Amino acid sequence: MSETGSTVPRRQVGRLLRQLREQAGISLMAAAEELEFSRARMYRIEKGEVPVRKHDVIAMCNVYHATTRMTEVLIGLAHESKAKGWWHAYGDVVPGWFELYVGMEQAAYRLRSFAPSVVPGLLQNEEYAEWIFRKWIGANDAAVDNAVAMRLERQSLLTRTRPEAPLLEVLIDEGVLRRAIPDRPGMRNQLVHLANSRPNVSVRVLPFAVGPHKAASSGQFTILEFPAVGTASPEPTTIYCESLTGALYLDKLSEVTTYESIWDELASAALSRADSDDLIAAISKESDG
């Protein structure tokens, strides 16, 4: 089999096209007839098994009455789906307002995130998020406010009921808890927010006492697992690694196995949920002093 790189953009194209078709109330067979595609081809496109050409994307979006923005997103993703291996650099091919990862996050049933430097976005409170974005974006108040609002809106997936909210497991380095933002009340609120009070969210701390570990060179990463749809096989587990200029998506078996091995090592070294809550509470009290 030839090297095909990550299948993530192809799968996302298929998922979005299926959602658009269903929202338009059009059956798979009716869409195939309108587009003069075979039913098998339609099925393979929606499953993300084949790349989609630009003019086919445009034709399908016309039939489904997709917005101009969504059509642009799909054209960008279709372009990337034909690349051998790819970096998703924000604002290059896919419009800057659309983050591929967010769509994947919404579709996952389980997320496992290692946080070695900052609190993960899904668990940031408003004060912490504002400080982070102000450091990244600068003094543009409107841009910072917009970024914070989008981050907080993204967190709604943890409390949704349909579909069921995903499981979120976070392993957070003790240094993240002690690297406080200047807003001390805001940081205390952030620490309280990390407590294990939500049934679908688990936060465990990797204490300093663990010492150097295998993940020291991996940086922050998230393992996304997807549910099966009907009798179809679930989409492959994907590793998401973010950098300053883009994000890397890994879904080859060898890559996933490597990161899951690192996760298992970290999980075995981390404190229990109860002990993590105790450490978080102790750090919070220290910040009051």
Q: Which amino acid is at 182?
A: P
Look at residue 51 in the predicted model and tell me its pLDDT: 83
**How does DSSP assign the chain, residue by residue?**
-------HHHHHHHHHHHHHHHHTT--HHHHHHHHT--HHHHHHHHTT-S---HHHHHHHHHHHT--HHHHHHHHHHHHHHTSSS-EE-TTSSS-TT--HHHHHHHH-SEEEEEESSS--GGG--HHHHHHHHHHHH-S-HHHHHHHHHHHHHHGGGGT-TTTTPPEEEEEEEHHHHHS--S-HHHHHHHHHHTSS-STTEEEEEE-GGG-S-GGGGT-SEEEEE----TTSPPPPPEEEEE-SS-EEEE-SHHHHHHHHHHHHHHHHHSPPHHHHHHHHHHHHHHHH-
CA geometry: angle 90, 92, 94, nearest 5 deg: 75
pLDDT at 242 over 60: yes
Look at residue 2 in the predicted model and tell me its pLDDT: 34
pLDDT in tens, 153-205: 889 899 988 888 999 999 999 999 999 999 999 999 999 999 988 999 999 99
At residue 289 the predicted structure's pLDDT band, cuts being 50, 70 and 90, is low
Look at residue 79 in the predicted model and tell me its pLDDT: 77
pLDDT at 241 over 60: yes
| Domain ranges within the chain, ordered by starting residue | 8-84, 100-121+160-288
pLDDT at 95 over 70: no
Q: Supply the mean pLDDT for the chain.
A: 84
pLDDT in tens, 3-33: 344 566 788 788 889 989 999 999 999 999 9
Residue located via tokens 């509470």:
281
pLDDT in tens, 243-279: 766 678 888 899 999 999 999 999 999 999 999 999 9
Look at residue 15 in the predicted model and tell me its pLDDT: 84
Of 62-66, 70-74, 131-135, the poorest mean pLDDT is in: 70-74
**Cα–Cα distance, 204 to 287 (Å, whole number):** 20
Look at residue 196 in the predicted model and tell me its pLDDT: 86
Better-scored residue on pLDDT, 150 or 24? 24
Percent of the chain with pLDDT over 70: 85
pLDDT at 88 over 60: no
Summarize the confidence of residues 104-133 as an average pLDDT: 92
- Assign a CATH topology to domain 100-121+160-288: Endonuclease; Chain A (3.30.870)
Look at residue 141 in the predicted model and tell me its pLDDT: 86
What is the value of pTM for the model shown? 0.73
Look at residue 84 in the predicted model and tell me its pLDDT: 45
> Domain 8-84 carries which CATH code?
1.10.260.40
At residue 102 the predicted structure's pLDDT band, cuts being 50, 70 and 90, is confident
Percent of the chain with pLDDT over 90: 51
